[in-house]
């Protein structure tokens, strides 16, 4: 039964997951071309100086890439369920509603996480091609909060979509926005090295919290 729920979620998101994947790959192709171009027009020592002395992030434009990915997958997954109250079809399935909702959410999260891991791989590979191994590791640590923000964006969309009351939707959007801001404090290398686990742990609370709007959806009085 749970495999069947994953199948349903996959049918909804596969096109948009594919679009998000192409978008992510395109951005990393651009990153590769951009850094290669930089090494063509600049002396290597100047790039070294920019990157490791001034602290220029040559891959800063991928900051919001996973956020966009999370929003795309979340919207693709929950919009068809919420239009015309089709979510009631899922709630009538012979599955415990909380399990059903959690499996939907975990499927979407997995979709975002797979793209996030691919991004991490591409980032490491591209940076390692032009910089020393330590530079590539540092890029991963720098970008780690941005990957987390993708998961938060997805969970924020899920939370907002399932909530039946409009005023609460805005509250959930604001909470998700606030959590996203937690991951974008500072523009330096490895800003979150010693602190990332705290917002990351708190953000995990988003997963069980989705039970609440789903419960409110099926127990509303109007």
Partner 1 sequence: MENVIEVENLTHCYGKRVIYEDLNFTVPRGSIFGLLGKNGVGKTTLIKILMGFLRPVSGRCRVLGEASHNLSPVARSRIGLLFEGHLAYEFMSIAQIEKFYSAHYPTWNRDLYYGLVDRLDLPYDHKIKNMSCGQRSQVVLGLIFAQNPELMILDDYSMGLDAGYRRLFLEYLSEYVKDGTKTVFVTSHIVQDLENLVNEVMFLDRGGEILQTSLDEFMTGFKQFRFKRNGSTNTLHRDDVIRNLDITGDNASVFSFLSMAKVGAHLAEMGIETAGLEQVPMTLEDAFIGLTGKY
User: What dihedral angle (degrees, nearest 10) is formed by the CA atoms of 17, 22, 28, 33?
Assistant: -170
User: How many Å apart are CA 53 and CA 74, to the nearest integer?
Assistant: 39
For residue 22 the two structure tokens come to 């192409």
Between 47 and 157, CB nearer to partner 1? 157
Binding piece for partner 1, criterion CB under 8 A, among 8-16, 56-64, 142-150, 197-205: 8-16
Tell whether residue 53 is a contact of partner 1 (CB under 8 A): no
Least Å from the CB of residue 211 to partner 1: 15
User: How many Å apart are CA 39 and CA 47, to the nearest integer?
Assistant: 7
Tell whether residue 95 is a contact of partner 1 (CB under 8 A): yes
Out of 86, 129, 165, 198, the residue judged to bind partner 1 by CB under 8 A = 86
Residue 59: which of 132, 126, 149, 114 has the closest Cα?
Answer: 126
Tell whether residue 40 is a contact of partner 1 (CB under 8 A): no
Between 119 and 163, CB nearer to partner 1? 163
Output b/e per residue, 70-103; b: 16+ Cβ within 10 A: bbbbbbbbbeebeeeeebeebbeeebebeebbbb
- Backbone angle region of 55, left / alpha / beta, with phi > 0 → left and psi within -120 to 50 → alpha: left
Out of 43, 53, 201, 221, the residue judged to bind partner 1 by CB under 8 A = 221
* Size of site (CB under 8 A) for partner 1: 24
Largest CA distance in the chain: 68
Tell whether residue 222 is a contact of partner 1 (CB under 8 A): yes
Tell whether residue 1 is a contact of partner 1 (CB under 8 A): yes
Least Å from the CB of residue 174 to partner 1: 27
Tell whether residue 167 is a contact of partner 1 (CB under 8 A): no
Q: Kindly list the residues in this chain that would bind partner 1 in the complex (CB under 8 A).
A: 1, 3-4, 7-8, 11-12, 80, 84-86, 88-89, 91-96, 218-222
């Amino acid at each position: 039964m749970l495999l069947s729920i994953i199948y349903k979620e996959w049918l909804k998101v596969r096109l948009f997951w594919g679009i998000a994947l192409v978008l992510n790959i395109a951005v990393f192709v651009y990153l590769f071309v951009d850094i290669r171009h930089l090494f063509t027009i600049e002396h290597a020592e100047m790039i070294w100086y920019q990157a490791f002395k001034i602290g220029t992030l040559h891959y800063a434009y991928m900051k919001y890439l996973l956020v966009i990915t999370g929003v795309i997958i979340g919207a693709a997954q929950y919009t068809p369920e919420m239009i015309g109250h089709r979510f009631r079809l899922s709630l009538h399935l012979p599955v415990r509603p909380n399990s059903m909702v959690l499996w939907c959410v975990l499927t979407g999260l997995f979709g975002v996480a797979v793209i996030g891991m691919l991004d991490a791989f591409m980032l490491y590979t591209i940076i390692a091609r032009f910089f020393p191994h330590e530079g590539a590791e540092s890029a991963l640590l720098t970008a780690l909060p941005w990957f987390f923000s993708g998961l938060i964006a997805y969970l924020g969309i899920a939370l907002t979509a399932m909530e039946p009351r409009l005023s609460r939707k805005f509250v959930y959007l604001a909470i998700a926005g606030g959590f996203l801001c937690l991951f974008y404090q500072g523009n330096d290398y490895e800003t979150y090295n010693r602190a990332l686990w705290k917002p990351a742990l708190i953000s995990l609370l988003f997963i069980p919290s989705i039970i609440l709007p789903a419960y409110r959806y099926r127990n509303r009085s109007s």
